[in-house]
Amino acid sequence: MPKTPSCDDRWLLHATAPLRLALEGRAGWEHGATLAAQPLLARAPRGDGHPVLTLPLMLGNDLPMQPLRVYLAGRGYAPYPWGLGINLGPRGDLLARCLARLHDLHHRHGRRVSLIGWSLGGLYARELAKEAPEAVRLVITLGTPFTGAPRPADLWRLYERLTGEPMGLPEHHGPLDRPPPVPTTSIYSRSDGIVPWPCSREREGPQSENIEVESSHLGLGAHPLAWYAIAERLAQPEGAWRPFERRGWRALLYPDPRRARTPAAPW
């Protein structure tokens, strides 16, 4: 397996940052592409009705993930918004309120809940799964920065020192890059203009994997290939999780996340 660059590869990240940021202009097209991709999205396996909780990106609310929830409802799931307004970071008791929301859905349905988190929302999903693995079926993150430098936890502690406002950091869970004890999928893009892609690379293991798509950061939550991968992951029988397979037509649409950089594709 080729060596995966870390967030300390300063030359790579700085050299490509302006181009990647400019490519965030694709987000509007990616949101609209879901209409053209309906034949592909209809191929995704149907779900078994289990609950799915979505957690929004930084400074976002439930609205940007509403189209995804509509799609998942149509595929046979019971999707829910987080219902906590604008995501301003894990301040105060926010993670405790997310945990209460998780337990409510778990008890209401009598089934484990799948968690989908976009960017910062993915950090919440990972920590909730560590806090209450008995209530979580699987975790899917979209462009979530859980490793590398500066670490999110370091930034939050700096915020605490500057403002005096406490952040709900789960210190007892250990490093944020430690995978949750449930099946976990990180969906990311090497051309993400906001989160450097190595920061979203999961440590692959028996229950953890990476899926790469070609997308902007702001378009990941509405990208048709991300939607298909989400639906396919959610459809797996509980307790029978397997990594995403890129065979056949999928190998044409989903890049190999283990591939090395090339001069033509420096990221």
Largest CA distance in the chain: 54
Note whether residue 2 is domain-resident.
no
Rounded to two decimals, what is the model's pTM? 0.85
SS (H, E, C) 136-176: EEEEEEECCCCCCCCCHHHHHHHHHHHHCCCECCCHHHCCC
Cα separation of 77 and 46, whole Å?
8
Name the token pair of 87: 């995501």
Other Cβ atoms less than 10 A from the Cβ of 219: the count is 25
Phi and psi for 156 in degrees, rounded to 5?
Answer: -70, -40
- Per-residue confidence of the chain (267 residues) as pLDDT tens digits? 334 444 445 444 554 455 444 455 555 556 566 766 788 899 999 999 999 999 999 889 999 999 999 999 999 999 999 999 999 888 878 999 999 999 999 999 999 999 999 999 999 999 999 999 999 999 999 999 888 655 555 656 655 665 566 665 566 566 778 899 999 999 999 988 888 888 899 999 999 999 999 988 988 999 999 999 999 999 999 999 999 999 999 999 999 998 876 444 445
**Range(s) of the domain holding residue 47:** 10-253
Note whether residue 263 is domain-resident.
no
Note whether residue 258 is domain-resident.
no
Could you tell me the CATH number of the domain that includes residue 78?
A: 3.40.50.1820
Note whether residue 259 is domain-resident.
no
Give the position of tokens 């079926």: 137
Note whether residue 240 is domain-resident.
yes
Other Cβ atoms less than 10 A from the Cβ of 143: the count is 31
CA dihedral 18, 176, 236, 210 (to 10 degrees): 40
Note whether residue 262 is domain-resident.
no
Other Cβ atoms less than 10 A from the Cβ of 64: the count is 16
Note whether residue 260 is domain-resident.
no
The domain total for the chain is 1
Note whether residue 265 is domain-resident.
no
Strand partners, 184: 139, 208
Distances from the Cα of 138 to the Cα of 117, 121, 215, angstroms: 11, 15, 23
